[in-house]
Amino acid sequence: MDFASHTARLDSISATDSRELDRVCEEVATALYEGGGEPPFTVESADFAADAHLICADRYWRLRFLERPDIRTAADCSRWLNVHVTREHRTEVLEKWSLGYAFITKDTVESTAELSRAVEEIVGQENSSGDVAYFATLYHAGKLRSNFWFDELHQFLDSSLLTLAAGVHRRSALFTALRSFAAFGSRAITAEHATGLLDQAWNSPERTRHVVDICLNGINVAAPFEGHGELLRDRAAEAVRDHPFDHIFHFRLAAGQHLVRDEDAALVSITTALRHLPALGSRGSHKLLQEQYLAKRDAILEGGRRALLDAEHEQRLRAQEARHQQRYEQLEAELHRRGDEQAKAHREGQEAARANHVRSVELVAVFTSAIAFAVGSLQVSLTGSFTLRDRLFLIGAWGVAHVVFALLVVGGTWLITRPRPSRDGS
């Protein structure tokens, strides 16, 4: 195979013509794949949009994974990557390839037996290393993640021989992010534990774009818990600040805003996600993502309409409640007024009855005094040997005494029965 001619074609292609760049890279990758050789060139960037060498290598390994989607191919890809990609760009390419190829081959998850046999082959090879096992681990974990097999992913990351062979890479931020994703989705693991793993990966100095993506994906697929929407919204907002043109992060932000019922902001975010969604991509389906984003947009619009209806309903309820409260206050005032009138009438009746009683006592006292005076006067007039002058004096004194007696009875009765002010001033 003429490797030099393939490399020359890649070197001569202009990155400004995207269609021609895509066509040439696809042709060279297909020629290398059909010829049985691996890409001979070195990749010196992580620019998947303009670096012809990287695009060609990406298309080549995509064909290899589609032909044999297992961890043996992942091991071969890892060995090539460690030799042909410069160190400063190796992590970005490794994460994008391992997770991206896992997504396009997610329908071919290897069984436990197949995985065990392949692990023995990979670990037993002389040129095998922790880097190879790590790439293969990410590839298989990416399949489980794409299929939302949370418990299987948790078990694989926790106890698989392949993950153990990855060595120190098990402490990487991406590995921790995958554990967080599995924990958020599993019904057997608490949200507190999942959030702890999330914080560990999120705050790591090794946090990459793919770490952020998996963390947000984990929060998004989690069963509802206290502070769920706020956590997704806040972390996605931070991701958007760091990656303002990343459509998936705007989509996650829209989902978080929708959960906290901030529909206006969510509509802006999902519209931005649709605008930044690229029309091309070999690992993800533009149509699938667009349909997902449009479905979220419809849900946000429906949520906005429902919120508007709820607000109108709430306003009507408040108006009705205000009318009921006003009517209640009016009825209460009317009852108070009637009660006051009845109490006043009752008091006036009591006072009238008491006055009548007082007048009756007074009349009785007056009549009693008059009768006593008359009887006494007759006795003085008809009996005894008093002179007329003495008789008149006795009758006058007797009359004065009875008048004083009647006045004392009337005055005492009034003093005892006179109206007194109540404690409430009425």
User: Are 352 and 384 contacting, i.e. CB atoms less than 8 angstroms apart?
Assistant: no
Angle between helices 3-12 and 52-67 (to 10 degrees): 130
Is the pLDDT assigned to residue 316 strictly greater than 90? no
pLDDT at 281 over 60: no
pLDDT at res. 122: 84
Q: Coil, helix or strand for 85? A: strand
pLDDT of residue 346: 74
Band of residue 386 on the pLDDT scale cut at 50, 70, 90: low
Q: Which residues contact 221 (CB under 8 A, 6 or more apart)?
A: 148, 181, 184, 185
Average predicted confidence (pLDDT) for the chain: 85
- Return the minimum-mean-pLDDT range out of 115-129, 165-179, 296-310, 345-359: 345-359
pLDDT in tens, 360-369: 666 666 666 6
Cα gap 57→103, rounded to integer Å? 18
**Is pLDDT of 1 > 60?**
no
- Percentage of residues in the chain having pLDDT higher than 90: 55
Residue 375: pLDDT band by 50, 70, 90 thresholds? Answer: low
**pLDDT over threshold 90, residue 39:** yes
What pLDDT is recorded for position 53? 93
Least confident of 46-55, 125-134, 169-178: 125-134
Top pLDDT among 294 and 404 is at 294
Comparing 224-228, 234-238, 271-275, 381-385, the range with the smallest average pLDDT is 381-385
CB 410 within 8 A of CB 402: no
Report whether 58 contacts 32 (CB < 8 A).
no
118-166 pLDDT, tens digit each: 888 887 665 567 899 999 999 999 999 999 999 999 999 999 999 999 9
User: What token pair was written down for 124?
Assistant: 């037993």
| pLDDT score of 283 | 46
Distance CA 111, CA 368 (A): 125
